[in-house]
Structure 1
Amino acid sequence: MRFTWADSTLTDDQSFTILKAVLTAEVNVWNGADFYGTPENNSLHLMQRYFSIYPDDAEKVVLTIKSGNRDINPVTLDASPSFLRQQVATANRILAGIKKIDLFGPGRIDKNVPVEKTVKALAEMVAEGQIGGIQLSEVNPETIRLASAVAKIDMVETEIDMWAMQIFQNGVADICAELDIVMAGHTPLSAGMLTRKVKGIEELAVPAYYRQLPKFQPENLRKNYELITALETLTTAKGKPGMPVIIPVSGASSVERAVENSKDVELTEEGLEEVDAILSSFTGK
Structure 2
Amino acid sequence: MELRTLGSQGLTVSTQGLGCMGMSAFYGSTDDAESLATIERALELGVTLLDTAEIYGPFTNERLIGTALTGRRERAVIATKTGIEIGDDGSPGGLNGRPEYIRHALDRSLRHLNTDYVDLYYLHRVDPQVPIEETVGAMGELVHAGKVRHIGLSEAAPQTIRRAHRTHPLSAVQTEYSLFERGVEHDGVMDTLNELGIGLVANSPLGRGFLSGTITGPADFATDDYRRTDPRFQGENFHRNLAVVDEVRRIAAAKQVTPSQLALAWVIHQGAVAIPGTKRRRYLEENRAAAAIAITADELAAIDAVAPHGIVSGDRYAPEQMQFLNG
What TM-score, normalized to structure 1? 0.88
Task: Verify: 1:69 aligned to 2:84, yes or no.
Answer: yes
Residues 102-117 of structure 1: matches in 2 within 5 Å? 102-117=119-134
Flag the 1:273–1:87 CA change in 2: closer, same or farther, 3 A. same
What residue is the counterpart of 1:27 in the other structure?
47
Letter in 2 for 1:95: L
Output the amino acid matched with 1:32: T
2:164 is aligned with 1:150: no
Structure 2: distance between partners of 1:10 and 1:207: 11
**Is 1:37–2:65 an aligned residue pair?**
no
Give the letter aligned to residue 248 of structure 2: L
Shift of 1:268: 0.9
Q: Report if the CA contact (8 A) 2:211-2:263 is conserved.
A: no
Match of 2:268?
none
Letter in 1 for 2:296: T
8 Å contact 1:141–1:171 — kept in the other structure?
yes
| 2:299 paired with 1:271 | yes
Secondary structure of the residue aligned to 1:139 is: coil
Residues 192 and 204 of structure 1 are in contact (CA less than 8 Å); yes or no, is this contact kept in structure 2?
Answer: no
Verify: 1:253 aligned to 2:279, yes or no: yes
Question: Structure 1 CA distance, aligned partners of 2:24 and 2:230?
Answer: 23
Consecutive unaligned residues in structure 2, runs of 5 or more: 1-19, 266-273, 314-327
2:10 maps to none
Q: For 2:205, what is the secondary structure of its paired residue?
A: coil
Which shifted more, 149-158 or 216-225?
216-225
Determine if contact 1:29/1:62 at 8 Å carries over to the other structure.
Answer: yes
Query: For the structure 1 residues 214 and 26, does the alpha-carbon distance in structure 2 shift closer, same or farther, using more than 3 Å as the test?
Result: same
Determine the structure 1 residue equivalent to 2:288: 262
Percent identical across equivalent pairs? 26
Q: Is the 8 A contact 2:28 2:221 kept in 1?
A: no
2:210 paired with 1:193? yes
Q: Which amino acid aligns with 1:254?
A: R
> Higher relative contact order by CA 8 Å / sep ≥ 6: 1 or 2?
2
Go from structure 1 to structure 2 and tell me whether the alpha carbon gap of 1:224 and 1:116 turns closer, same or farther (over 3 Å shift).
same
Alpha-carbon distance in 2 for matches of 1:284, 1:5: 25
1:227 to 220, 223, 244: 244
- What TM-score do the two structures reach when normalised by structure 2? 0.77
The alignment partner of 1:153 has SS state of coil
Q: State how far apart, in whole Å, the 2-side matches of 1:31 and 1:255 are.
A: 16
2:110 is aligned with 1:92: yes
Query: What secondary structure sits across from 2:264 in the alignment?
Result: coil
> Which amino acid is 1:18 matched to?
T
Describe the shift of the 1:202–1:66 C-alpha distance in structure 2 as closer, same or farther (beyond 3 A). farther
* Corresponding letter in the other structure for 2:241: N
Partners of 1:84 and 1:281 lie apart in 2 by 35
* TM-superposed deviation, 1:11: 3.3
Would you say the 8 A contact 1:227–1:282 is kept in 2? no
- Tell me: CA distance 1:200–1:67, structure 2 relative to 1, closer, same or farther (3 Å): farther
Q: After alignment, is 147-156 or 229-238 more displaced?
A: 229-238
Amino acid at match of 2:84: N
Distance in 1 separating the partners of 2:198 and 2:241: 32
State the distance in 1 between where 2:312 and 2:148 align.
41
CA deviation vs aligned residue, 1:107-133 (integer Å, no higher than 9, x gap) = 111111111111001001111112112
Deviation of the 1:212 alpha carbon: 5.3
Aligned residue for 1:122, secondary structure, equals helix
Who is 1:15 aligned against? 35
Change in 2 beyond 3 A, CA 1:10/1:215: closer
Considering only aligned residues, what root-mean-square deviation do their CA atoms show, in Å? 2.5
Pairs aligned (count): 278
Secondary structure at the aligned position of 2:174 is classed as: strand
Helix, strand or coil for the counterpart of 1:133? strand
Q: Distance in 1 between matches of 2:309 and 2:109?
A: 46
| Rounded Cα–Cα distance in structure 1 between residues aligned with 2:192 and 2:203 | 18
Q: Distance in 1 between matches of 2:252 and 2:104?
A: 48
Matching residue's letter, 1:67: T
CA gap of 1:281–1:179, structure 2 versus 1, over 3 A, is: closer
Q: Distance in 2 between matches of 1:266 and 1:34?
A: 35
For residues 126-137 of structure 1, the aligned pairs below 5 Å read 126-137=143-154
Alignment-derived partner of residue 189 in structure 2? 172
